[in-house]
Amino acid sequence: MARDVAGSEISGGGGLLVGRRLLITGVVTSDSIAWATALAAQRLGAEVVLTAPGRDLELARETVGDTGLPLLQLDVTDEADWVALTDTLGAHGGTLDGALHAIAWGPPDGLAGPFAGAVPERLDLSFATSVSSYARLGGLVADLAGEGGASLVGLSFDSSRAWGIYNWMGVMKTALETANRYLARDLGPRGIRANVVSAGPLHTRAASGIPGFATLLESWERAPLGWDAHDPAPVADAICFLFSDLARAVTGQLIQVDGGHSAVQGADASPV
């Protein structure tokens, strides 16, 4: 029997996601939204399959531990990995009920410094990793979806303004959100929902590569509900909602899970 991160046994009993097979990409460390989502979905009864890029497989295996969750290799810029993943998931008539795209990459010169100074070739790789792979994953979900359709979920960060840092990754997130709307348009007739969750800043491995990350956290001190940058569980719960039938009429949307920060846009949210 599978076990969660605390070692507790997880039964296949009742839950919001019972009977669903979900693909959670980009799982490497235990502080990630992807890992929190995998555990939450498993607790809710889903069958969960994980992926990590080849360079991070050993670290991902340490994270997975004895949970019993299968871990497959996926570098989204490697065609061979896509083929192998598709074959593995589709073996013996296998279907897929949903997938989380938790994959992004940006070069250091694309995150900080002069906006016009980033190397174009590295930005091309950033787009392929962070944006066009989302469309590719949507195609995979659509091809393997059962009769009940499926749900695709991506991850973003507030792209409504130009932050003092983040630079080209802000552009990539804007592109991801736009791609999501087109996927919702094209995949909806096939029963596939596509939505993006915009999370507040979290202390993850990805965040450690963002220069001046602490400045983002300072802005979230004004979030109406407060914000715990060490707790990805609220984001994971929203993703599980989007995987479930409760969100059966939700597609093409950007869901803000940020303690209400985006609603106040930097204004003082304290009570008068």
Tell me the residue type at 143. Answer: D
Q: Single out the catalytic residue among 35, 134, 166, 243.
A: 166
260 carries an active-site annotation: no
- Pick the closest to residue 204 from 34, 4, 48 (CA basis): 34
Q: Which residues are within 8 A (CB) of 152 and not within 5 positions of it... i.e. 6 or more apart?
A: 98, 99, 101, 134, 137, 138, 141, 183, 187, 192, 193, 194, 195
State CA 8 to chain mean position distance: 25
Beta pairing class for 254-257 and 21-24: unpaired
How far apart are the C-alpha atoms of 269 and 267, rounded to whole Å?
Answer: 6
Q: How many CB atoms lie within 10 A of CB 231?
A: 13
- Pick the closest to residue 5 from 60, 66, 57, 47 (CA basis): 66
Strand order in the sheet with 98-101: 71-73, 47-52, 21-24, 98-101, 150-156, 192-199, 254-257
Tell me the residue type at 26. Answer: G
Q: Single out the catalytic residue among 20, 21, 101, 173.
A: 173
How far apart are the C-alpha atoms of 188 and 136, rounded to whole Å?
Answer: 16
Joined together, the tokens standing for residue 145 give: 């979806």
Q: Which residues are catalytic?
A: 166, 173
